[in-house]
Amino acid sequence: MSRGTGRVAVGCSGWNYRHWRDGVFYPQGLPARKWLGYYAERFDTVEVNATFYGLPRREAVARWVADTPDGFTFAVKVSRYATHVKRLRDAREHLNLLLERIAPLVDSPKLGPLLWQLPPSFRRDDERLAAALRDLPPGLRHAIELRHESWFADDVLRMLAEHDVALVVADGPGLRSFRTHELTADFGYVRLHHGARGRRGNYSPPELDAWADEIAGWARDADVYVFFNNDREGFAPANAAALRARLDRSAATG
């Protein structure tokens, strides 16, 4: 496993939420076409979930690149057809369709990891996973979110590490009993779906403190991408900003 730069990027799983309008996150009256620019002034990364449901237009992707500053990164979720329908069969073929559509991002320095989220009903299949890992194109970062307990075994983690593919550290109901926080690549990828101690999925201050400590530890050896997926009531941007502040304070104090 190669060493990362120790960069920590914190953001949300998406930016295009209508319920973030009118002061929840976006200022009242801010048109939707300016939401990404506003978001990118406050966070340095975003996870694109729309690509899970359909391929974007290249013109739209070019606008993503143009509307964000230098140093901003997009993590892109791979199509559910590849992960949920085909269940990793012919992975390269389906990934190439996505890469063609997001070419303006691929050709820029703003492409972050590609996220492969498997369905919770997909049980461990080492042969299927090994074939998909062998098929991944070089030069890109890949993260895989395994959601069935059977995958969480040493042999699987070693397989991911051999291909420098990150195991997603996912936090949420039904995941905490079997998740592992082991890094398997030169970067870490964290998805915070639902807090355990805050109301309605909000992350409480003690939970954010604990995550900040763990992420700061990982960042000594690897880059880390962190995304809050609890978009309800604007919790995600508020939690992301609070985590970022904790990490910045930790870095400042050494």
CATH of the domain spanning 8-252: 3.20.20.410
pLDDT of residue 82: 95
> Considering the entire predicted model, what is its pTM?
0.95
Count CB atoms within 10 A of the CB of residue 168: 23
Q: Report which secondary-structure segment, H or E, holds 236.
A: helix 235-252
Report percent pLDDT > 70 for the chain. Answer: 96
Res. 174 pLDDT band, cuts 50 70 90: confident
Q: Is the pLDDT of residue 216 over 70?
A: yes
Q: Is the pLDDT of residue 224 over 90?
A: yes
CA distance 37 to 48: 15
Q: Is the pLDDT of residue 129 over 80?
A: yes
Q: What is the pLDDT of residues 32-76, one digit of tens each?
A: 999 999 999 999 999 999 999 999 999 999 999 999 999 999 999
Q: Which 3 state secondary structure label does DSSP give 143?
A: strand
Token pair in block for residue 43: 């966070």
pLDDT of residue 180: 86
pLDDT of residue 179: 77
